Structure 1
Amino acid sequence: MKKQRYSLEFGKKEKVLNYACQTYQLSRPNKVGTVMALIRECQPQTIEEWEKWYFENAFTAGKKPFKITKDSLQELGERLYEKITEVVIPEWQEAFSKLTKEDCTNYIYNLTINRTFDGYLREKSVVNDGLAKSFPHIRFEESPAELDHAGDIDYIGYISEDKAFGIQIKPVTAKANFGNYSVSERMKASFESFKEDFGGNVFIVYSLDGEIANKEVIPSIEAEIERLNQK
C-alpha cells in the first residue's frame, strides 16, 4: 500500500526554489529551528499534531533565539521570492546568454578529471598530514563503496574494530564561509545511520589548500574519541 505524502509538488520550479533556498541559507536551523530534532521530540501521529507542536515549541538556533511563527515563515518565503527575482534570475539569464558548447565540454572534462584529482589530493592531505598526525592512535580508512553511507562519509576513524567516528571533507572554496554550510536532511539521516552502526558521530572537516581550515573540529574529535573509549 502506497504511503500518503504530505509534501507539495512544485514541478520544474523545485530546482530554482531549492537552489535559492540553499544558497541564501533560508532553511537553516538559525532560521527555522532544528526541525528533525523537533519532530523526533514531538513524535506526532498526524501532520496537524506536528504543525501545532512546532509553532508552540520551535525557536531559531543561535545566540539570540527567537520563537518561530507562521509570520516568520511567511517572511522567509518573501525573502526567497526577492532573492530569486532580484538576484538569481538576472544572474542565470546572463549566464544563459553567454553559455557556449565549449563551456559545456570543458566543464564535463574538468569535473571528471581535474576536480576529481584535486579532491583526491585534498582528502589525502587533510587525513595524512592533518588528522593522522593529530590522532596517531586512530586508524583512518577510506569508506568502502559498499558502505550504506559511503557517499556522505569520506573516511572512518577507528577507535577499535567496532567503534568509529566518521569524517566528511569539504573544500572551503565550495562555500566562501564554511560556517554557512548547510547539511541536507539526507545527510543528517546518513550521519545518524553511521552512528547507529559505529557508535560515533560524523565530523565535517573543511580543507583549505589541503590543510584543516576549521581547527576547532580537533577538540570536538578528541572529545568524541574519549566518549567512545568510555562506552
Structure 2
Amino acid sequence: MFNYQIQNILKENPRIQEKLGKTLYNCINNDVKTIAVEVSEQNCIDYIHNLTIYRNLDGYVRKKSVIYDGLAKLFPVLKFEEIEPDYEHSIDIDYLAKVENKFVGFQIKPVTAKHSFGNYSPTERMKASFKDFEEKFGGKVFIIFSLDGEIGNKEVIDEIKSEIERLKMTSI
C-alpha cells in the first residue's frame, strides 16, 4: 500500500521532489548562511528524494516486521490486518486484530518518536481516537515502539496478553 501511495503522489506531482529540494536549497542559502559546508541544489533534491522514499519505505518495512515477525509469532491466534491508508491517520491505528467479536488496535512508532520509552505521551487527538476505538470496537489500542524492526517496549506484550484474555472473558 505504501509504495502505491508514494507512486501515486509522484505520478500526480512528478516534480514535487525537485520543488521541495529547491525550496530546501533556497532556505539553506538564504536563511542559514552560517553553514560552513557547501550545499548544492542537487544535494537538496537528493536529500528530499531520500527522505520521502527511502526513509518512509524503511519505516514501512519496520512496521511490518514488528507485526509479522514479532506480534504475529507471539500471538498466533490473532490475524493482523493493516488499516486502509485512508483511515490510518484519522484513527491513529496502523493494524488491528480480532479477538472474538471485538478488536484491538496497534500503533507502531519508531523509537525516534521519543528519546526513551518512559517519556512518550500520545497527543490529545490520539488519546481521543484511541478512546473512540475502544468504545466502538471493545479493545484497547497499544503503542508499539519499533527498534530496528523489533518490539522495543517489551512490557507491552504482557499488556496485550491481558487485553486478549479480558476480551475473551467478556465475549462469553
Equivalent residue, structure 2, for 1:96: 32
Equivalent residue, structure 2, for 1:172: 111
* 1:217 CA displacement: 0.3
Letter in 1 for 2:84: P
2:69 to 117, 129, 134: 129
Distance 1:96 1:151 in 2: 38
Matched, 1:222 2:161: yes
Equivalent residue, structure 1, for 2:84: 144
* 1:155 CA displacement: 0.6
Flag the structure with larger Rg: 1
* 1:172 CA displacement: 1.0
Could you list the runs of 5+ residues in structure 1 that have no partner in the other structure?
1-94
SS in structure 2 at match of 1:205: strand
Letter in 2 for 1:184: T
Q: Which has the higher strand share?
A: 2
Using a 3 Å threshold, how does the CA distance of structure 1 residues 102 and 196 change in structure 2: closer, same or farther? farther
Letter in 1 for 2:65: S
* 1:151 CA displacement: 5.2
1:158 to 98, 101, 124: 98
* 1:179 CA displacement: 1.8
Distance 1:126 1:144 in 2: 18
Letter in 2 for 1:159: V
Using a 3 Å threshold, how does the CA distance of structure 1 residues 148 and 129 change in structure 2: closer, same or farther? closer
Distance 1:132 1:152 in 2: 20
Contact 2:105 2:142 in 1 (8 A): yes
1:119 to 59, 75, 90: 59
Distance 1:119 1:96 in 2: 29
2:143 to 204, 221, 226: 204
* 1:149 CA displacement: 5.7
What is the CA RMSD across the aligned residues, in angstroms?
Answer: 2.2
SS in structure 2 at match of 1:147: helix
Contact 1:143 1:150 in 2 (8 A): no
- Can you list the C-alpha shifts for 1:174-195, whole angstroms capped at 9, x where unaligned? 3231221121111111111111
* 1:221 CA displacement: 0.3
Using a 3 Å threshold, how does the CA distance of structure 1 residues 214 and 148 change in structure 2: closer, same or farther? closer
Contact 1:191 1:202 in 2 (8 A): yes
- Can you list the C-alpha shifts for 1:126-175, whole angstroms capped at 9, x where unaligned? 01111001100011010123437655101102113x41111011111332
Distance 1:201 1:172 in 2: 21
Query: Relative contact order, CA 8 A, sep 6+: which one is greater?
Result: 2
Percent identical: 57
* 1:230 CA displacement: 1.4
